[in-house]
Amino acid sequence: MISPEQYPVLIVVIPLLSAFIINVIGWFRKGFSYPLIVLSLIITFYLSVSTLLQVVDGGAISYRLGGWPPPFGIEYVIDHLNALVLVVISFVSLAAAVFSKESVKKELPDRIPQYYTLFILLVTGLLGMTITGDAFNLYVLIEIAALTSYALIAFGRDRALVSSFNYVIMGTVGASFYLLGVGHLYIMTGSLNMGDLLSILPAISGSRAIFVAFLLIIVGIWTKMAFFPLHGWLPNAYTYAPTATGVLVAPLMTKVSVYIMIRLMFSVFSADYVFNTLNVHDIIVWMAVAAIIGGSLLALTQTDFRRMLTYLIVAEVGYMVGGVWLANSAGITGAILHILNDALMTLCLFLVAGIIYHKTRGHHLDDIRGLYRKMPFTMAAFTVGALSMIGVPPTVGFFSKWYLILGAIDAGQWGFMAALIISSLINAVLFFKVIEVGYFEPMHGHHDDGHHEVTIDEAPFSMLAPLYVIAVSLIVVGIYTSSIITNIIAHAVPKGL
């Protein structure tokens, strides 16, 4: 058997190799793509969970690719923070892959192997972004994830092609800014290894080139994560993408970008530099306030369920960026916890939107009419997801919001606290509107008599099973929040804040 020391590299290699296998076997047998992708994601999930357990037991792991010692070779570093994110990515992508069976068959019947090849390459890119300890390797993996997601979105209907094109432009600008920032760091330090950069940078932290590098990198990452003024590409791209793409991309892309921001802030520039030397956190927290309020208000004006969710993603990005830049341990704990929680909540709601689209061929609010009677199981799970988004205990949404508010009080950022509360209220209005439409308004009947019997017409099992796993995990993770924080997240928060 393979020794656990090799698990870090296998987390990336197994999905990468299965992309080739799915593509080749797909030429001969289309039907094999789905079992293969599920199998490889199960293995990846197992590997990342056992890596997380190793980290919790024995501290951070450093894996040298090809045996080259850092800073010469590429190093994989797994500490508490990215071990957690790896588990989130592999869990969410496994659920999305299981879910995708019927929707891909229905929406893209003639391109199943190609679709799944891109799907698993995107997962590879995200896992690689999370695990790597090398700044340039990170750029390459960002681009792998981005290129595959452009293609996955372009498979969609209506305006998908145009929105995918806008995403290509914005995504390329973002990644190029990041690359330019890394170039500045390389000029100043001569190194690309994150740990090495962290040890060299404090000595030259007064330099203007380092400041420019920081600005370029952070703006590049913000473009990738759709932070408020730079969010323009996201809503259309995520609304018109194929169902299976939305389910994979919406929960993961922005959250992994937030992780990248945290990683670069604390593992390359150091908490001391970003919070004390730069002194820009007030401005950024106010930008986060704008993101939260702006995203929530824009969500309020939408009449399409899935489009409404995409604006909520913009607001949630504001939560996480603001939480990190509160510059205290409660805020950063809340932000890291929200990466986990928001991935689960967004996945739950996008799964519901996917099921509704699968059954009614639309996800306009009108399509939700009367669905509580027609699809009670789906809508029950939707209710759990909605309550979590609003922040009702014991669902996960409550706990991360709690920590974020604690952090805001600690830092004296009353604007951020107000934004969190206002956005919770707006979420409550939004979701109760959806629940009202689904529960009280009659079906969009083709007969005008309005008396016809409503029969239960649920989604297939392969769609309901992942939805229920996620809905239950929203509550289970909520109950175990305190042990997740003490065992994992507490170690990821930089010391001395």
Site of interaction with another protein (CB under 8 A): 136, 139-140, 143, 147, 150-151, 154, 159, 161-162, 164-165, 168-169, 172-173, 176, 179-180, 183, 186-187
- Dist CA 142 CA 109 (whole Å): 29
Task: Compare residues 178 and 431 and give the one whose CB is closer to another protein.
Answer: 178
**Is residue 409 exposed (0-12), middle (13-18) or buried (19+ Cβ within 10 Å)?**
middle
Which is nearer to another protein, 173 or 365 (by Cβ)?
Answer: 173
* Whether the Cβ atoms of residue 55 and residue 79 lie closer than 8 Å to each other: yes
Least Cβ distance, residue 135 to another protein (angstroms)? 10
Question: Shortest distance, CB of residue 257 to another protein, whole angstroms?
Answer: 18
46: CB partners within 8 A, 6+ apart = none
Residue 328 in tokens: 């205290």
For 364, list phi and psi in degrees, rounded to 5: -75, 155
Q: Which CB atom, from 141 or from 387, has the smaller least distance to another protein?
A: 141
* Dist. CA 156–CA 112, nearest whole Å: 14
For another protein, the closer of residues 240 and 382 by Cβ is: 240
What is the nearest approach in angstroms of another protein to the Cβ of residue 147?
Answer: 6
Whether 311 and 295 have beta carbons less than 8 Å apart is answered as yes
At 215, which amino acid appears? L
Distance of alpha carbon 54 from alpha carbon 70, whole angstroms: 21
Q: Measured from the CB of residue 150, what is the shortest distance to another protein in angstroms?
A: 5
Q: How far apart are CA 421 and CA 61, in angstroms?
A: 39
DSSP class of residue 77 equals E
Residue 460's φ and ψ, nearest 5 degrees, are -65, 160
Residue closer to another protein, measured from CB, 170 or 489 = 170
CB of residue 357 to another protein, shortest distance in Å: 20
Structure tokens at 269: 């520039």
Residue 179: CB minimum distance to another protein, A: 6
| Number of other CB atoms surrounding residue 395 within 10 Å | 25
Min dist CB 197 to another protein, Å, is 14
Give me 468's structure tokens: 């229920």
**168 versus 330: smaller Cβ distance to another protein:** 168
Q: Which is nearer to another protein, 168 or 489 (CB)?
A: 168
